């Protein structure tokens, strides 16, 4: 799970472009999920980030075509909110 959190942190700190983050995070998340190595208490937040990555569309013209597509602001908002939730859970467990 550390690699997922590094990916999120990298995106929030501007080291990863939203397009790269959305692909990288989804790939890592699916791999961890399939392997069953994610703690249950983090699944909801990670799943929300994954869903936001899946709906991210960088092209505003394409977002007009489908109301569920989100832009960079919406993606960052979801990622920040869920990252804070995960950090809070991690702090409680230590």
- CATH architecture assignment, domain 2-93: Up-down Bundle (1.20)
Q: Does the pLDDT at position 93 exceed 90?
A: no
86 and 45 in contact (C-beta within 8 Å)? Answer: yes
Measure Cα distances from 10 to 27, 41, 88, 92 in Å: 16, 22, 18, 23
pLDDT per residue as tens digits for the range 42-77? 999 999 999 999 999 999 998 888 889 999 999 999
| Phi and psi based region of residue 24 (left: phi greater than 0; alpha: psi -120 to 50; beta: remaining) | alpha
pTM for this structure?
0.91
Kindly state the tokens that stand for 77: 């908002």
Domain boundaries, the chain: 2-93
pLDDT per residue as tens digits for the range 6-42? 999 999 999 999 999 999 999 999 999 888 888 889 9
Q: Does the pLDDT at position 94 exceed 80?
A: no
pLDDT value at position 35?
Answer: 87
């Amino acid at each position: 799970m550390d690699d997922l959190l590094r990916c999120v942190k990298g995106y929030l700190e501007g080291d990863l472009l939203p397009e790269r983050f959305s692909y990288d995070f989804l790939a890592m998340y699916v791999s961890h999920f399939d392997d069953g190595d994610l703690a249950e208490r983090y699944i909801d937040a990670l799943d929300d980030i994954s869903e936001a990555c899946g709906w991210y569309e960088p092209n505003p013209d394409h977002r007009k075509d489908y109301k569920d597509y989100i832009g960079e602001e919406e993606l960052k908002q979801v990622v920040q909110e869920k990252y804070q939730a995960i950090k809070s859970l991690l702090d409680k467990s230590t």
